[in-house]
């Protein structure tokens, strides 16, 4: 069961940015939320979590708030 705070309505999808915000706010993310992420966002989130744990010492404010893929698309 998703917490009401992070429940996403049917018109919008749970995306990378939503997952990062949830991690920053609560320090945790549920399996249901991970399951609802698109595959590309899930892979990117896991890569960012690995880097974040290794280099940022687990400080939630160091997680990138915007997807690198989204930034790359904006530049193009």
Q: Above 90 in pLDDT, residue 60?
A: no
**What is the per-residue pLDDT for 43?**
93
Its pTM stands at 0.66
**What is the per-residue pLDDT for 9?**
47
pLDDT digit string (tens) for 3-48? Answer: 544 555 444 788 999 998 898 888 899 999 999 999 999 999 998 8
- Tell me the C-alpha distance between 62 and 56, whole Å: 6
- Residue ranges per structural domain of the chain: 10-65
**What is the per-residue pLDDT for 32?**
93
């Amino acid at each position: 069961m998703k917490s009401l705070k992070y429940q996403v309505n049917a018109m919008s999808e749970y995306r990378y940015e939503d997952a990062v915000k949830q991690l920053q706010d609560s320090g945790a993310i549920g399996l249901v939320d991970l399951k609802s992420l698109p595959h590309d966002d899930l892979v990117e989130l896991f890569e960012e979590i690995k880097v974040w744990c290794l280099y940022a010492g687990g400080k939630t404010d160091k997680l990138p708030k915007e997807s690198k893929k989204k930034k790359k698309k904006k530049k193009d």
